[in-house]
Amino acid sequence: MKDNAIIQPINRKKISLVDPLILLSAESDIRALVQLLDLKQLNKISLMMSTVYKGLSDGQSVSLIGPMIGAPYATLVLEEAIAAGAKKILFFGQCGSLAKSVEIGDCIVPDASLIDEGTSRCYPISSDISYPDMDFCNHVAHVVRQTGQNCHKGKIWCTDGLYQETPEKVRLHQKKQAIGVEMETSALFTVATYRNVSMAALLIVSDHLYTFSWQHGFGSQAYKQGLKKSFQALCELIKQD
């Protein structure tokens, strides 16, 4: 597909990235993962409002980028990362549960993302759903389950409107079989498909809305335990590549 956009993503800072590249939404998660990987020769490079972390973990090169929030900004980072050579990317973030069976501290590996954000519409697509690389998605789910983490594969609802997740919208997306809601995945999957790179996502459940009231689990023991196992899975995915 011909791309005639006037402004093209280029590797302005001559950054060299290794696969799998891990994109993380939260600053606290980046700090925890850097510490867990015990990154040596750590090099930090500013990239817009995010930071690229490059280092060695047991002699293996590792690349991380974050933080990021929302579809427009997350895709800017992804586009720049692809321009810097990334071909296999995993996004790690938080999500809310829309299903009683999906509890705080569990993980969701989306196998489809329902587009309710504006960034995907800027790309020449005609679908209301975007998809990850299914082979990569299945592998991520397998590795997560090996840690003992409760892991669900399913549809995710991706919205721009954090403060407009109404009961009517929750019911609508539950009818579409969405088991979670967040703000980045559908746009990331759209860009990855457009740029022909491999992309998957791993989301930890931080809160739930399936009762049509907001119940958050940040700081709960279940969330902390789930986060710990998620980090174990991320480390294993990095080492396996």
What tens digit of pLDDT does each residue of 165-186 get? 999 999 999 999 999 999 999 9
The whole-number pLDDT of residue 177 equals: 98
Residue 200 phi, psi dihedral angles, 5° rounding: -145, 170
The whole-number pLDDT of residue 41 equals: 95
Across 15-44, average pLDDT: 96
Partners of 109 in the β-ladder: 153
pLDDT at residue 126 is higher than 90: no
* Residue 234 binned pLDDT confidence (cut-offs 50, 70, 90): very high
The whole-number pLDDT of residue 241 equals: 72
The whole-number pLDDT of residue 125 equals: 85
CA distance 109 to 146: 14
Do residues 178 and 156 make contact, with C-beta atoms less than 8 angstroms apart? Answer: yes
CA distance 203 to 188: 13
Token pair 């997350």 is found at: 74
Across 19-28, average pLDDT: 97
* Residue 1 binned pLDDT confidence (cut-offs 50, 70, 90): low
Find the radius of gyration of the CA atoms of the chain: 17
**DSSP SS3 for 198:** strand
Across 72-92, average pLDDT: 97
What are the sequence ranges of the domains in the chain?
A: 21-240
Lowest mean pLDDT of 9-13, 105-109, 128-132, 223-227, name the range.
9-13
pLDDT at residue 89 is higher than 70: yes
Mean pLDDT of the chain: 96
The DSSP bridge pattern shows strands 107-116 and 129-130 to be antiparallel
DSSP alpha helix (H) spans, 42-161: 71-83, 134-146
Cis amide bond preceding 20, omega within 30: yes
* Residue 12 binned pLDDT confidence (cut-offs 50, 70, 90): confident
> Does the structural domain 21-240 have CATH classification 3.30.390.50?
no
pTM over 0.95: yes
* Residue 82 binned pLDDT confidence (cut-offs 50, 70, 90): very high
pLDDT at residue 156 is higher than 90: yes
pLDDT at residue 131 is higher than 60: yes
Which structure tokens are listed for 37? 């990987």
CA distance 23 to 232: 16
| Single-letter residue type at 36 | L
Sign, Cα dihedral of 75, 81, 85, 90: negative
Which structure tokens are listed for 173? 């997306």
The whole-number pLDDT of residue 154 equals: 98
